[in-house]
Chain A
Amino acid sequence: ETGVTQTPRHLVMGMTNKKSLKCEQHLGHNAMYWYKQSAKKPLELMFVYNFKEQTENNSVPSRFSPECPNSSHLFLHLHTLQPEDSALYLCASSDGTFGNQPQHFGDGTRLSIL
């Protein structure tokens, strides 16, 4: 139990579907992150939120749309995805966005695009 919960754990969707990934943290942190991990590749940072405000968008295509309604919840809305978007999507949180604050990760959503 990491204190960061992601749902669903697995998701299969077609390229024309719309779905959302959910992340909830119970650690009282104020920063939340989305990462993408493709097979045999390093984690790639997608988005950073600090106190509900987006502070980083790492050139992510617009078919990925994040939402952070409060410091405990983070969503990733998906629409018109491509097969290359199949990956493990990881959410993390930390106590602020200073580099020396450890990030706490959820166990991810395994996304498969048909």
Chain B
Amino acid sequence: LAKTTQPISMDSYEGQEVNITCSHNNIATNDYITWYQQFPSQGPRFIIQGYKTKVTNEVASLFIPADRKSSTLSLPRVSLSDTAVYYCLVGEENQGGKLIFGQGTELSVKP
């Protein structure tokens, strides 16, 4: 299972675009990249998943360069309610459901 590295914390202000980058230098050919969001005293919530290039949904965008050794979660126009911990996970299809969570990035959005 590929190891991921993210910034421990980030600060932002309401209305700004936030980009959180995750490094995964040892990503394997069959690995997907998945991001989860966790609020205090709640379980993580799936945000977005991708394999290559760009993926966009109603919540966020995920940018993956051609070498796939990193990925960037982009949150457009954040609000106070986006204050949470964001986890980047990398894993292959046949890993038996084993998600390995790192420390994540604690995002603090200020007014």
* A interface residues with partner B (beta carbon < 8 Å): 2, 4, 31, 33, 42-45, 48, 50, 55-56, 88, 90-92, 94, 96-108, 110
Contacts and interface: CB of A to CB of B under 8 A. Distances in A.
B102 A42 contact: yes
B81 to A, nearest CB: 16
Interface stretch (B15-23, B58-66, B86-94): B86-94
A5 to B, nearest CB: 11
Interface residue SS majority, chain B: loop
B43 A33 contact: no
Given A43-B101, A45-B99, A105-B43, A98 B49 contact: no
A12 B74 CA distance: 40
Nearest to B91: A99
Interface string B39-59: 001111110010000000000
A98 B43 contact: no
Contacts of B46: 102-104
A107 B43 contact: yes
Contacts of A92: 43
Contacts of A106: 43
Interface string B74-111: 00000000000000000111111111111110000000
A45 B32 contact: no
B43 to A, nearest CB: 3
Contact of B97 (A4, A103, A104): A103
B43 A4 contact: yes
A100 B96 contact: no
Nearest to A4: B43
Contacts of B103: 42
Contacts of A105: 42-45
Contact of A99 (B41, B94, B102): B94
